[in-house]
Structure 1
Amino acid sequence: MKQAKSQILIIFGASGDLTKRKLLPALFELYKQKLLPEKFAVLGASRSGLSDEDFRKRADEFLPESDEVEAFKQKLYYQSVQNNSSEDFKPLKTRLEKLTSELDIDENFIFYLSTPPSLYSVIPKLLDEVGLSKSEKFFRRLIVEKPFGNNLETAKELNIQLLNYFAEDQIYRIDHYLGKETVQNMLVTRFSNGIFEPLWNRRYIERVEITSAESLGVEDRGGYYDHSGALRDMIQNHLLQVTGFVAMEPPVVVEANAIRNEILKVFQSLKPIQENEVQRHVIRGQYMASKIKGEDVKGYRDESGVDRLSRTETFVALKFFIDNWRWAGVPFLIRTGKKLPTRVTEIVITFKKVPHHLFDSHGQVQTHNQLIIRIQPDEGILFKFGMKTPGAGFKVQNVNMDFHYSDLADAKVPAAYERLLHDCMIGDATLYARGDAVERAWEFVQPILNAWQSNPEIPIYGYPAGTWGPEEAENLVTHGNWRYPCKNLTNDGLYCEL
């Protein structure tokens, strides 16, 4: 594995939730695995007036007690920074100069924007004004969290603003879904197995489904979510990026730009959903009050911070097509939602039936073969195929052949932020979104947003919390049904396959 050079990671928004829940735990895991550079430091930066020791004490709240934690915490430092002018950033520059000198660390810097999106263009500008965005001798990288824009126009504006101060190869637009092991394994599953790649096309595949379900509601994010919604929050970024991995052509080499070029080609081939087609191709819903396992559950409009007349979608299902040689005519079905029966993200490849149903008899209908790639939780792969039921005759039943990453006793599945942070440290942008791909994804979803805004007659369907969304979503599937890995929570129990 490529070794990371000595460097300092500067986290803007270091007193925020993402730093506590994801970034510092991920860095600690990298430290335990000896994947951090020998000479390495984290400089937390935010408005709060904390000392180095205060910042380290806060780490105790979300890191386990151990000797390793104590040693790791000595790599944590803190600098209070305002974001009003370049004068505010001069103390930050001075602190970095002091740290690199005292700790004998090269001036390689990664700037992580774990901040509100309103600062995504402000901080790079101030970094540039004090001379921190570029170096002839050392690398300077910028990690930008989602949301990358709120629509096509703002995404383009943000790209332009960032490119004023950082080059494209310095910008790492993070999408934590791409850090999940099973998404990355998609490339190996497809392109290293002779049994899959020849079948991975319109001749053998009937449809592709991508589901990302959450059992939680909006929790304490109602105010934010009511201005975002499921289409912006999940589909424009996470699930379209996953679609790119499912549908891409084989890259010439396993290298960042080669892979990202192929993902861009997929986005360029997405058949646009025109505004007058949105009602036929896209179903949106909103969870309603219900009982789950005997307990009352609030509906979306009753959540804190949510408009009582809100038309923000908590569920979206859409059908679209990819207009290229490999996928012409194959429907891609994506759905995501909150307050569904379980938390699960998976890809389902449904293969076409054999042309002659030799074993159909007595009303029995042979089902499709399916390949299910589980992204989370319980990462793994499940293959469903027909087998003869023991006994006389040729009655066919479906059986499963599965693999779980958890079965690899000595293999650790890294958390998404572990993988992505380490990739940025070594300069590998493969699993980060490129600016042109982000804009193409926004171009695809923008007509849907426009239609919802301009046409109040497009319905938003209610669905009871704990169910699989509006029944109208079934209308998107021409043959068969969506795959339901778990029963509804409103029933007696919960059974999940895989």
Structure 2
Amino acid sequence: MTTHPFKVSIALFGATGDLSRRKLLPSIFHLFQEGSLKDDFALIAVGRRDITDDDFREIARNAISENGKLETLEGLDLFLTHVHYVRLSITESDTYSSLKNKFEDIERTLDTGGNRLFYLAMPPQYFTDITDNLRISGITETKGSKKLIIEKPFGKDYDSAYKLNEEISKSFQEHEIYRIDHYLGKEMVQNIEVIRFSNSLFEPLWNNHYISNVQITSSESLGVLDRAEYYERSGAVRDMFQNHMLQVVSLLGMEPPVSLNSNDIREEKIKVLKSLRKVEAEDVRKYFVRGQYDEGTADGEYVKSYREEENVSESSNTPTFIAARLFIDNFRWAGVPFYVRTGKRMKNKETKIVVEFKEVPMNLYYQNESDDRLAKNLLVIRIQPNESITLHLNVKDYAGEQDTKEIKLSYSVDPTDLARTVDAYENLIFDCLDGDATNFTHYEELMNAWSFVDPVNAVWENDPASFPNYRSGSNGPVKSSLLLSKDGFKWWDV
């Protein structure tokens, strides 16, 4: 984190919402606590409720105390003196004068440099109302910088994403827009680049000559909980696959960038997304599997099916699971399948990457015992729940003569280091303040991802599935295993 505190006023729309209470307020406080934000900083909470500054400060105090993974609350009282509340109606431009006046009052008192950050922790249907009214009211006219952070989903398909961006671009330029994807703020996701580009052991092998397949799993044991109304509109494809999962694919598949500059990294990620093999409508079943959870057992307790969840249609065609067989059609990755799966109400809550290396050209061991095989060489990068890196190797089994056994060389993030690890949102808010867009989604990345996903959604939305098709507490639909088995592979449970 910086030793030079940022000078900025942050307007937080949706300040009393769940995301703000659980993640954003604790993250902003910790940035203040460790010195990235200090004297010349203000947080303006924006909401519809008729409350005072002191009322919101109490809300913020409780949110930070209950949700912040902090060793201490030292500095909280001082932080709260920098917190203000403004009531307005986000769809009515004439109410934005109160926010404009608050910015100007703060900038007369504090040396913020006129730098303004707008964080929209709001449903996307309000994005253009807010950005239009910020422009109309003159709030975006400032002597300092202006930046905008928006939460996913960034549209529901290519056309809506294009339209949304056109509207927002009336008020903010592309370099001022930060589309936040909290997955990219996770330490172990950011570690993918370090593992690849700082170890001569891996980079020469990171291609179709030595890697047989790559697997990415992000599974949740929970169901949709109270998000069913949102989930009915998005499903697993829009909620997870189009953004989080394809971002991880691009990090694993990208060429070494010229530098660690955000533009250079983004350029290589975009090349990967452009190289994804487009799937024709008639081939969707060959490359994709969808699923929806049935009743079952999770953590030893009975749980109901997705269609029985509150606010879900009894005949819902919304997938809660997706598995995909992807190919990056370029020189490095030609012929190597990238298998991706994500779903709810699965057996385990975990996010991991498994890189399976090709077998040695000739097995010198077990030549007379056809049933025995050398263990596969695997690189396992575990993102959650326990952050770790494991390399699976073969060594001599000292109990035998020429037999081998599998060993695992493993590094796990030390619990004390993990306790000091900042939240993904804190990482990303810091990056935005620092002007580093590396771990945010650029417009071109977004549009290439939608271009790839739209044909799949078009087929599925017009072809009702035989749902439900996997039990809660399982590893998903049986057909997801067939994606791999027909290529001679399997999902690794490691």
Using the size of structure 2 for normalisation, the TM-score is 0.95
For residue 247 of structure 1, the aligned residue among 253, 259, 262 is 253
- 1:275-334 deviation per Cα after TM superposition (whole angstroms, max 9, x unaligned): 111111111111111134542111111111110111111110010100111111100110
- Residue of structure 1 in register with 2:275 after alignment: 269
Q: Which runs of 4+ in 1 moved over 6 A?
A: none
Q: Secondary structure at the match of 1:115?
A: coil
Matched, 1:72 2:79: yes
Deviation at 1:182, TM superposition (A): 1.0
Contact 2:294 2:468 in 1 (8 A): no
Tell whether 2:265 aligns with 1:259.
yes
**Aligned-partner Cα distance in 1 for 2:433–2:54:** 25
**Partner of 2:295 in structure 1?**
289
Q: Please tell me the root mean square deviation across aligned C-alpha atoms, in Å.
A: 1.6
What is the total number of aligned residue pairs between the two structures?
Answer: 483
- Of 174, 187, 195, which aligns to 1:189? 195
Listed one character per residue, the Cα deviations across residues 322-367 of structure 1 (whole Å, up to 9, x for unaligned) are 0111111100110000011221111111100111011134221113
SS of 1:397's equivalent in the other structure is strand
Residue in structure 2 matched with residue 17 of structure 1 by the alignment? 18
User: 1:233 and 1:267 mapped to 2: Cα distance?
Assistant: 18
Whether the 8 Å CA contact 1:320–1:333 is kept in 2: the answer is yes
Partner residue, 1:464: 471
Q: What CA distance in whole angstroms lies between the structure 1 residues aligned with 2:41 and 2:366?
A: 65
Instruction: Show the 5 A alignment for 1:141-156.
Output: 141-156=147-162
The TM-score, its normalising length taken from structure 1, stands at 0.94
Q: How do 1:56-67 residues align onto structure 2 when only pairs under 5 Å count?
A: 56-64=57-65, 66-67=73-74
1:336 aligns with 2:342: yes
Q: Which residue of 1 aligns with 2:69?
A: none
Residue by residue over 1:18-72, the C-alpha shift from the partner in whole angstroms, topping out at 9 and shown as x without a partner, is 1000001111222222222431111110111121111111123222284422222
1:484 lines up with 2:493 in the alignment = yes
Amino acid at match of 1:117: P
| Matched letter for residue 50 of structure 1 | I
SS at match of 1:63: helix
Q: Matches of 1:33 and 1:293 in 2, distance apart? A: 38
Whole-angstrom CA distance in 2 between matches of 1:39 and 1:124:
25
Residue matched to 1:378:
386
| CA distance in structure 1 between the aligned counterparts of 2:32 and 2:5, rounded to whole angstroms | 12
CA distance in 2 between counterparts of 1:242 and 1:71 reads: 39
Map residues 2-151 of structure 1 onto 2, 5 A cutoff. Answer: 2=2, 3-64=4-65, 66-135=73-142, 137-151=143-157
Counting aligned pairs with the same residue, the percent is 40
* Equivalent-residue separation in structure 2 for 1:471 and 1:256 (angstroms): 40
Matching residue of 2:205: 199
Quote the residue 1:493 is aligned against.
none
- For 2:91 and 2:26, the matched residues in 1 are separated by 30
Cα contact 1:4–1:425 (8 A) shared by 2: no
Deviation at 1:460, TM superposition (A): 4.6
AA in 1 matched with 2:377:
N
Distance in 2 (CA, whole Å) between partners of 1:453 and 1:18 is 30
Q: CA deviation at 1:231?
A: 0.6
Q: Which residue of 1 aligns with 2:403?
A: 395
**Contact 1:371–1:381, Cα closer than 8 Å, also in 2:** yes
TM-aligned CA distance change 1:320 to 1:460, over 3 Å: farther
Unpaired runs of 5+ residues, structure 1, are: 486-498
5+ residue gaps, structure 2, are 66-71
Of the structure 1 ranges 251-260 and 401-410, higher mean CA displacement relative to structure 2 is found in: 401-410
The question of whether the paired residues in 1 share the 8 Å contact of 2:161 and 2:447 is answered with: yes
Which sits farther off after the overlay, 286-295 or 122-131? Answer: 286-295
Question: C-alpha distance in 2, partners of 1:37/1:275?
Answer: 54
SS of the equivalent of 1:394 reads coil
Residue 199 of structure 1 and its aligned partner are, at CA, apart by: 0.3
* Offset, 1:475: 0.9
Q: 1:247 to 1:460 in 2, by over 3 A?
A: farther
How far has the Cα of 1:480 moved from its partner? 2.4
Alignment-derived partner of residue 491 in structure 1: none
| Matched residue SS, 2:445 | helix
Change (3 A) 1:294 1:391: closer
Deviation by residue 1:79-124 (Cα, 9 ceiling, x = unmatched):
0011233211111101110111123432100000101111111111
- Taking structure 1 as reference, are residues 416 and 410 closer, same or farther at Cα in structure 2, changes over 3 Å only? closer
Q: 1:19 to 1:294 in 2, by over 3 A?
A: closer
